[in-house]
Structure 1
Amino acid sequence: MTNTCIITGASRGIGRAIAVELSKHQEIDNFILMARSEDGLVETRDQMDGQHNIQVVAIDLTDYVQVKEQVHLIGEEYGTIDMLINVAGYANPKSLLETSVEDWEKTYQINIHSLFNITKETVKFMKNTGGKILNVASTAGSSSRPGWSAYASSKAALISFSQTISDELSDYNILVYCVSPGRCATELRKVLAPDEDPTTIMQPEHVGEVVSHLLSEDGVCLDGQDIVIRKQVVKSMKKETANKTS
């Protein structure tokens, strides 16, 4: 049986880093990379291990009907969807009084509603064979972030959604993971903290390594939790991995 993995937000940042890292896994046969930027997706594909079948799908995840149709095409073509990795996100940090209803709704459309939609459609296939879902939230979802209310509250909703469906889908042998990266040098982070030096904080590749670990057999007991990823967590995991291989 072939193994098929969908990754959203794969055109840059953490999504790209996860795709590149997972392409080192021999057991994943098919990768479907999704984002709005086709050029960015092609760049990601070019950085991945070419031994896999890699499909690029330029799509607006808030077009719920198109996403539903695309997921069903994938499920029918490959027979199963074994992994779904939800990375796509949006942020436009404003204070409460500066945040418009339109931007609040856009934040939730991308960070929550579109994720709900693709997850629901994927589970229709995944429930027959089991699988793994990984959602990328943020530490902003579990602490006070003045000036980031739309983004932070959407990530809090994602953490809760992940924990809830982890219990709900366990009968189908579907494991649900939620990771909350701290400060990470992504384009999204530049929007949230434009004056920050990106070389002083965690890099997307670090998150990719942790996600790769979670989706391996070693991460089987870590589902259903809000897993915080910070620099010190990455270092300790690297040390643990080195000890296992020595």
Structure 2
Amino acid sequence: MASSSSVADMTGPSFCVVTGASQGIGRAISIEIAKCFYPGSLMLLLARNYQELSITADSCESGNVKVIHKSVDLSTASEEDMMDILKNALAGYQINNFKRALIFHNVGSLGNLAIETSRMENVPEMRKYYDLNVFKVISLNTQFLKLFEDVVEQVVIVNITSLCAIKPMGGMAYYCSAKAAREMYFRVLAEEKKNIKVLNYSPGPVETAMIENVLEEAINKNLREVFTSFKNQGTLLKPEVTARKCVAVLLAAKFSPGEHVDYFDDE
């Protein structure tokens, strides 16, 4: 059974999954957390772009860590697909030989920025968005727990969330509502499963492709002005900077179960 011991003790082999690992925050977190692992550890990196995943994998591989990367569209993957991906990555390994299992739920998208909140009505589009950003995140997390919860000493779950999960942002109803739903799921999970370490980490405004998407697609004037200001003032964070903070928060293990921790919060 998983214990509540401090994440700061990273000795022994670990198994780690990172979604959305082909670029931006996902790539940076993969590289940063890989530095913490001891010999015998295994990483599974997931995203759609296989070529970019390969670059991330090469940056994570070391004498301590074997890295497997798999191209998958999680928005359409079935629960059976997800379980098969996990089991195939673990082929040749005894699960109970891992001291801990970690998963970073980083996959995510912005949604439709070209429609006013009061005019949202395309239910198929919304379903597709929620599939990737909420439903399939929950499904993957469930498959992960089926394999590890009662086997390894420690289970650690990190949900990459956003300030938008707790504060509304005009023009981003898709994104805000999905982030809020996703974060609340993990908070409820943490409430129920006291033996699992659950962190909701908000990375702050980060210099990624999403910023350009907002500037190109958003019809909400205030939203464009906010992100234009971030870009022009040079206040956007580099992915590797917020990734280091995420891992530091995780290792310090001072957060309460399911707590929302922002990059700008004191450690």
TM-score by length of 2: 0.79
Instruction: Structure 1: give runs of 5+ residues left out of the alignment.
Output: 238-246
Alignment of 1:79-228 (within 5 A): 79-80=94-95, 82-92=101-111, 93=113, 94-96=115-117, 97=119, 100-128=122-150, 129=152, 130-170=154-194, 173-194=195-216, 196=228, 197=231, 199-216=234-251, 218-228=252-262
Separation in 1 of the partners of 2:253 and 2:128? 33
* SS of match in other structure, 1:25: coil
Structure number with greater Rg is 2
2:5 aligned residue: none
Counterparts of 1:53 and 1:99, CA distance in 2: 46
Structure ranking higher in helix proportion: 1
Aligned partner of 1:59 in structure 2 is 72
One-letter amino acid of the counterpart of residue 10, structure 1: A
Corresponding residue number in structure 2 for 1:37: 49
Alpha-carbon separation, structure 2, partners of 1:21 and 1:137 = 18
* Alignment-derived partner of residue 83 in structure 2: 68
5+ residue gaps, structure 2: 1-11, 217-223
Single out whichever of 150-159 and 200-209 deviates more from structure 2: 200-209
Deviation at 1:70, TM superposition (A): 1.2
Cα separation, 2, equivalents of 1:38 and 1:132: 26
Q: Which has the higher contact order (CA 8 A, sep 6+)?
A: 2
Distance 2:121 2:72 in 1: 27
After superposition, the CA RMSD in angstroms is 2.1
Partner of 1:243: none
Q: CA deviation at 1:98?
A: 5.3
TM-score by length of 1: 0.85
Residues 169-201 of structure 1, C-alpha deviations (whole Å, 9 max, x = no match): 22xx21111112221111123223446327431
Percent identity between the two aligned chains = 22
Tell me: CA distance 1:53–1:142, structure 2 relative to 1, closer, same or farther (3 Å). Answer: same
